[in-house]
Amino acid sequence: MAGRLLNARVITQSSDTRIRFRPAQLRDVILLQGLQRRCFAGSQAYGLVTLLALYFWSRSHIIIASVGERVVGCAVGDSDHGQTRVLNLCVDPDFRRLGIATVLLTSIENHFGDPFVTLMVEDKNVGAQALYRLHGYLPVSDLRNYYGRNRHGILMQLHRPTNPAPR
Ligand SMILES: CC(C)(COP(=O)(O)OP(=O)(O)OC[C@H]1O[C@@H](n2cnc3c(N)ncnc32)[C@H](O)[C@@H]1OP(=O)(O)O)[C@@H](O)C(=O)NCCC(=O)NCCS
């Protein structure tokens, strides 16, 4: 599946800012660690060991957005028994509301091509929830204290109907 095309490869914000999308390479992992720290507070940011484990895990896939040498966004997903999980999605604060997360999320969905896609989001993270709803994700259950004391999670799911096989 690694060779599947992303749904969009470049967003051109201005003549000197081209945002490119591609699968992560090993050399990106250090930069991804910095991105995680810029995007998530405390333990929600993936550290180097977790990122390396996800990079080498055969079931997972990491897509990054970059501007020049700078990594400005990433999505991490995995697939098991016909179900994709979006494990992580983030965009550098300097590059938000440009459609980067939209491309990353769609790219993970298309990479695996599963009929169901799930993800967890914190109940207070209304921005991310707005993004997911726009993509067709619906809340399916609440997980109390999932992110820590009084920090509740919402499990959201997308159902992507498959085209009926041609007769
Ligand atoms: C959530 C996040 C990934 C969105 O990234 P992004 O690249 O800015 O998102 P997009 O530009 O693709 O947004 C597409 C649409 O989603 C909605 N949206 C995205 N962020 C939003 C926000 N903060 N508030 C309200 N709506 C939002 C909007 O409808 C937006 O379209 P618009 O800009 O034309 O109004 C980014 O804010 C982020 O990294 N946050 C910190 C990490 C995080 O919370 N990750 C998700 C964990 S579950």
How confident is the model over 93-145, as pLDDT tens digits?
999 999 999 999 999 999 999 999 999 999 999 999 999 999 999 999 999 99
What lies within 8 Å, CB to CB, of 77 at 6+ separation is 60, 61, 84, 85, 86, 87, 108, 111, 112
Which atom of ligand 1 approaches the CA of 104 most closely? 12
pLDDT exceeds 60 at position 74? yes
Question: pLDDT: is 124 or 162 the higher one?
Answer: 124
- What are residue 78's DSSP bridge partners? 60, 85
* pLDDT higher than threshold 80 for residue 167: no
Q: What digits encode the pLDDT tens for the residues 14-53?
A: 656 799 999 999 999 999 999 999 999 988 999 999 999 9
How far, in Å, from the CA of 81 to the mean position of ligand 1?
A: 29
Q: With a 6 A CB cut-off, is 19 part of the ligand 1 pocket? A: no
- Whether 3 shows a pLDDT value over 90: the answer reads no
Q: Which residues have C-beta within 8 Å of that of residue 156, sequence separation ≥ 6?
A: 118, 119, 120, 121, 129, 132, 137, 138, 139, 140
Q: Whose CA is nearest to atom 34 of ligand 1?
A: 97
pLDDT-derived band at 10, boundaries 50, 70, 90: confident
CA of residue 60 relative to chain centroid, distance: 11
Q: Whose CA is nearest to atom 26 of ligand 1?
A: 127
- With bands split at pLDDT 50, 70 and 90, how would you rate the model's confidence at 162? confident
Residue 130, ligand 1, Cβ within 6 A: yes
Compute, in angstroms, the gap from residue 112 CA to the centroid of ligand 1.
Answer: 22
Distance CA 142, CA 58 (A): 29
Separation between Cα atoms, residue 112 and residue 166, nearest integer Å: 21
CB 6 within 8 Å of CB 24: no
Query: What is the model's pTM?
Result: 0.92
Q: What is the pLDDT of residue 42?
A: 87
More confident of the two residues 1 and 32: 32
Q: Report pLDDT for 2.
A: 35
104, 111 contact by CB (below 8 A): no
CA distance 86 to 77: 4
Tokens standing for residue 79: 């697939």
How far CA 89 is from CA of 23, 45, 123, 158, in Å, comes to 14, 11, 16, 15
pLDDT of residue 1: 33
Would the CB of 128 count as within 6 Å of ligand 1?
yes
Tokens of 77: 């997903």
Residue 125 CA, closest ligand 1 atom number:
44
Confidence of residue 155 (pLDDT cuts 50, 70, 90): very high
User: Is pLDDT of 6 > 60?
Assistant: no
